[in-house]
Every structure is written in C-alpha cells, then in structure tokens.
Amino acid sequence: MSQTQDLLIEIGTEELPPKALLKLSQAFHQGVEQGLKNAELSFDALRAYATPRRLALVISKLQTQQDDLTVERRGPAVTAAFDEDGNPTKALQGFARSCGVDVDDLETMQTEKGAWLIFRQQQKGAETATLLPDIIQQSLNALPIPKRMRWGDLPGEFVRPVHWLVVLLGDDIVPVELLGVSADRFTVGHRFHHPQPIRISTPMTYAPQLETEGHVMVDYEARKQAIHGQVNELAASLGGDAVINPELLEEVTGLVEWPVALAGNFDQRFLELPPEALISSMEGHQKYFAVRAKNGDLLPHFITICNIASQDPAQVIAGNERVILPRLSDAAFFWETDRKSPLAARQEQLKTIVFQNKLGTVYDKSQRVAALAAIIAQQMGSEAQLAERAALLAKCDLVTEMVGEFPELQGIMGRYYAQLDGEPTDVAEALDEQYRPRFAGDELPQTATGIAVSLAEKLDTIVGLFGIGQPPSGVKDPFALRRAALGVLRIIIERQLSLDLFELISEAVNNFVDILTEDDVRTQVMQYFYDRLRGYVIDQGAKADEYESVLAVSPTQPLDFMQRLNAVAEFRKLEQAESLAAGNKRIGNILRKNEAEQEGLVVEPGLLVEPAEKALAEQVVEAQQALKPLYAASDYAGILNYLAGMRETIDAFFEQVMVMSDDEAVRNNRLALLNQTRALFLGVADISCLQE
C-alpha cells in the first residue's frame, strides 16, 4: 500500500476570458489527470475549480511516489556470449557496456529456447513532488488558448498574466516555478471583499477557506447553480419567470467570483418592441437576464449578476438601469427607422452584399432561391407565388438597422417587418422559418412556404459551394453545409415530404448559369447527403448494415429511403432473414462471377431440369405477379414479408441444383433464374448486406 497525500494546484491570474473559462478548466483538469496517469501515479478523486481569476485542482489521495519497477533487457544467448575458452565475446561485452555494467553484473535466464544473458535493474519510483512541475507545465502548454500572452520580461506565456501560484502536496509546498512565479501556500480572496492573501494549510481546506474567508465561490458548477437559483428567485418575486439563455448563464458564471443577483426596471414603453429585440439588447450588451410574465410577454424588469455583495444595492441597481436605457433607446430607434421603408424596397440593397465572391451577391442568391422554392412549393402542392415572394424578401432584413446591430435576429425581424408591411402571414412566417433548424434539435419550419424557402435556401448554398469546388473539409465548414444538409433531410423526412432529393439538387444546379466549375456536382452532393443520412438514421437507432442494404439500391427520396429502411429492420426480425441474406449473398456472387447481372435474361421453362429449379421458377413468376400491387403501394414491409416465404425454395435450389452445369444453355437458364430471383429482393434493398 503506497503512501498518499492530497494535492492542490491553483494558478492565480488576471481576469480570464469568461466564455473560455469552462473549457480552460476542463482542459487543465484533463491535462493533469492524463499527466498523472502517464506517470502511473494513482489517486482517489480529482476536482476542478475555476473562477475569473483562478484555475485550480484538488486531487485527493495522490500517490506520493511511483511504484518501483524492475527493468529487464535481454542480451545475447549464452552460446553466443562466451567463446570456447569461456571468455566473454564482443557481443556480450557490447551488451554489458550498453547497460553500463560489467559482464559479471548480468544474470542468465533459462527459457525453453535455451539460456540467455539478461540485465535486470530495480528502478526506484520517483517522488511525485519532483514529477509535478513537468506535469503541470505540460498541461498548461496544452491548454486551448487562442493567443498566448507573454508579459514583462517573464519567461513563459499564458492566456493572461499569472500573479500567484499555489502547489501543496499534503501540508507541504511543492517547489515549482511556473510562468515566472514560484509556488507558495498563499492564495488571494475576492478582489473587493477580501483582497488580502489567504494562507492554505492543506489542500482540503482550499475551497472552504476561499468561500468563508475569501468570498470566492470557487466551484464553477456551484456558482452557476447559485446564479440560476438567484435569478429564478428574483424573477418569481417579480411575478414572472426568468429567461435563462444557457450561453449567457455560462458567460456570467465566468465573470464573477461571488454572484449576487439584483433586479432592475426599464420603461414600460419599450415593451412595444419585439421581445427578441429587447432580450438581445439586455443579453448582448449588458449580460442581463430578461423576465417573462406567466403569459409569456416580457415584463419591464431585468436581472443582473454583480460580483459583489454591495452595501448599497439601490445605487447599483440605479446604475444598471441607467446603462440599459440608451441600449433600449437604440433598439427603439432601429425599430422606428427600419419601419420607414418596407422590406420589399430593400431588395436592391442586397446587390451590395456579397454572398460568396464566386457565387455572387445575396441578391443573386435570393433570385435562385426564389426559383427553386417555387418548384419545391409546386411539388408540395402549395402556392408557388407565396414561396417565391418569401424567398425574394428572405434576406432583406439583413440590411435593416436592427439586424445590423443584432445579427442573431435575422429572420425574426424579417417576420415582424413583413407583418407590418402587410405581407401574407405565410410569407412573414417563412422569413423566420427559412433559417430553421438553427441547431441540432431545433424546431423545423411549420408552414408550407417556410418549408419550401428553407429547403431552397439550404440546397442553393450546398450545391453552390460544392459546385465551385469548396465542399466542407474535416473541421473547415464556414457555410455550415453539414448542418444545412442535415436540416434538409430532417425537414423532408420528419415533415413526411415525398420530394426527390436528386431532382431538387439538379434544379438547384440549373439555377447556377455558367458559375459552377465542378462536373458531376449532382452526384457529389447526393453522396454528401447520403453520408449525412447515414449519421441521421444511426442516431435513430438503425444498424449500419441495414443502411448499407438500402443504400445499395440508392433511393433518392429520403422518405422512401426511410420506409425501405424500416422494412429491412422489420424483415431482419424474421427467422427466415438470416438464410435469405446468405442466399442473396450467394446468388450475388455467382452472378457477379458470371457477369450475368444485366437485365433481360429470360428463363426458358423448357430448359429447367431439376424439380427444385422448376419450383423456384414457378415461385418467381407467382411473386412477380403477387408483388405488383405491393410495389405500387411501396409496401416494402409487405414485399419482404412475402419474399420471406421463398426461403425453403431457395435453400432447396442450392441444395439440389448445380448452377454451373456443363450444358451452357442449362447454365445460362439457371443464371437467368437467379437473376430474376435477386431482382425481386433488390426491388426493396440488397439484403445480402445484412450481417448475422
């Protein structure tokens, strides 16, 4: 049982970037954890702490020394180690030298293959304290820091200037010097509440001391929960519910060491603005939380988190109310100005915004999207003009003041302005819906028009960028084509649209006149969709081989693809599935070997010899008849169910019939029979892809 001690590491810095804080903390955590594992130092638990001014780790029951270990190096065989006079050979001497010992220090080891000389050495485990400096330094170097800072004439660089360093193993300081600061046992409390140093006697008292003495809630998660609870509490006291944007919550948690929520008010009249605009002003500029009434309307209040328990909250609140006023007034001004000219009037302006230098301006894009949206709307059986109109207006809000200030409001403001312009409701809605889904799990467009524009918008972007040879690569996906493609698939599938993706792609391609440089853009893009679809269906619980079996017959309607996929999943549950999959594999191989997979080979009843092949031939004919209506209804499950009934006949065929007969006529006839059999299954999917 090896000795253990608790370990504390704290790095005190100038204010860290709030949005990056959690990532930094987690990376530091993982870095040190990995470092300890690599050094084979065991420990009980590791807790990470993070505030704007510090990153810390407390590791309980850390092994204070590595285990000793024996290293063995195998030398020459005894036979090769000594000459006939029994003197060490060059080989042996060389080996001994390489081990830094005399020949006599080597031992011999008996193996079934004979005796060998080996060098055994007890390697003493190193003291943890001596290993820590490297481990810490390594994990600091590995932190995901956009740009590191070097300051003064200090060695080393970090995301922010480092002011103090605490490293305690048990009750003792570990002599480490990092980033020009050497370790001690003194941390620092809250900037205002307790600027004095705090002496930490032992790692376990670190967090509690900082909390009770230092007024620093050093546990990130606890601080976040405190803010969450305080904001909810205040909102409730105001008779409403807080609007808690998760990103804002994280950011605020990264801004304070001791959170104190305070509420404030703003002038009722601002409530005439769209709530999204108010929320953007409050969150974006001031990091305030908005408050909703039970009916969902905004209330004229906000909640702020300050980093200090003020003696005079009233004054702080007054200050907060003062600073938000101009922000809201700006928003109100934008709202006024934007409404002076209708969206439609802004189309010309779109010519001034480049969408992508090869793909032209946003105006050009709108034109293309309008054309494509119209086609989609038609195919969906909804009004093409509405879709076209929506598409033409879709980007106009980009040139409004409000969206200029708050880009995240694109589409949303479009909706409001379109409504005020008296555009049809569907058109207005579509302007917002075009961007959906905005993120994984986001709502899909509701209205037919919204769907058409959203699909067209995304398809145009995808096709365009593939067309100019700029598909997304690994992490590089500036136009978020991955998300767009997934969005297209989700909309078509979950809204149950029988649209043909390949056809839409082709339409989109046609809209780019003399622009696209790549050939076979269609297939490239289609392939890209198939890859996204693969991920999508596997998330839904489908098996990879099921996906492959359907992909093999490459249906271009996503909805149809899903129906086949479900049929295959059902089919696989049948007891006949396994041997039919095997049978299909076998047939496939035979046909491939004999390049007989081309259509149109006819079966000559007269050439059928064996009973088993006659039986199969009959069943095939029956099946072809029986399945017609099922195909018509694309009842894939029904089809596979029916084909399952052919299992015995097919098995019997392979047991009793030798396909490769010497008589060529007979042989080709049998190949034809197999070809037709296989065709029956391929009408749904290539079930030979199914693994047991």
- The residues binding a second copy (CB under 8 A) are 198-202, 204-209, 211-213, 217, 222-223, 225-226, 228-230, 232-233, 236-237, 258-260
CB of 441 to a second copy, least distance (A): 18
What is d(CA 215, CA 283) in angstroms, rounded to the nearest whole number? Answer: 26
Nearer Cβ to a second copy (240/583): 240
State the burial class of residue 57 (Cβ atoms within 10 Å of its Cβ: 0-12, 13-18, 19+): buried
CB of 217 to a second copy, least distance (A): 6
Nearer Cβ to a second copy (237/554): 237
Q: In sequence order, which residues have a C-beta less than 8 Å from that of residue 381 and are 6 or more positions away?
A: none
Nearer Cβ to a second copy (189/437): 189
CB of 259 to a second copy, least distance (A): 6
CB of 223 to a second copy, least distance (A): 7
CB of 62 to a second copy, least distance (A): 17
- Distances in Å between the Cα of 66 and the Cα atoms of 3, 38, 42 are 10, 11, 9
Positive or negative, the Cα torsion across 21, 23, 24, 25?
Answer: positive
What is d(CA 477, CA 609) in angstroms, rounded to the nearest whole number? Answer: 61
CB of 535 to a second copy, least distance (A): 22
The answer to whether the bond into 555 is cis (omega within 30° of 0) is no
CB of 207 to a second copy, least distance (A): 7
Nearer Cβ to a second copy (41/207): 207
CB of 25 to a second copy, least distance (A): 17
Reduce the DSSP state of residue 383 to 3 states and report it. Answer: coil
Nearer Cβ to a second copy (207/392): 207
CB of 153 to a second copy, least distance (A): 33
Given phi > 0 = left and psi -120 to 50 = alpha, else beta, which region is 541?
A: left
3-state secondary structure 557-592: CHHHHHHHHHHHHHHHCCCCHHHHHHHHHHHHHHHH
| Under 8 Å between Cβ of 26 and 63 | no
What is d(CA 333, CA 327) in angstroms, rounded to the nearest whole number? Answer: 10
Sheet containing 4-13: give its strands across: 45-51, 54-63, 4-13, 162-169, 172-173
Closest CA to 396 of 440, 341, 467: 341
Reduce the DSSP state of residue 72 to 3 states and report it. Answer: strand
Nearer Cβ to a second copy (6/388): 6
| Under 8 Å between Cβ of 448 and 382 | yes
Nearer Cβ to a second copy (264/464): 264
Six token digits for residue 267: 């002038």
Question: What is the DSSP secondary-structure string of 476-497?
Answer: B-TT-HHHHHHHHHHHHHHTT-
CB of 45 to a second copy, least distance (A): 13
CA 503 to mean position of chain CA atoms: 29
CB of 282 to a second copy, least distance (A): 20
CA 577 to mean position of chain CA atoms: 35
Nearer Cβ to a second copy (260/644): 260
Nearer Cβ to a second copy (225/286): 225
Nearer Cβ to a second copy (25/563): 25
Q: Which residues pair with 380 in a beta bridge?
A: none
Nearer Cβ to a second copy (228/339): 228
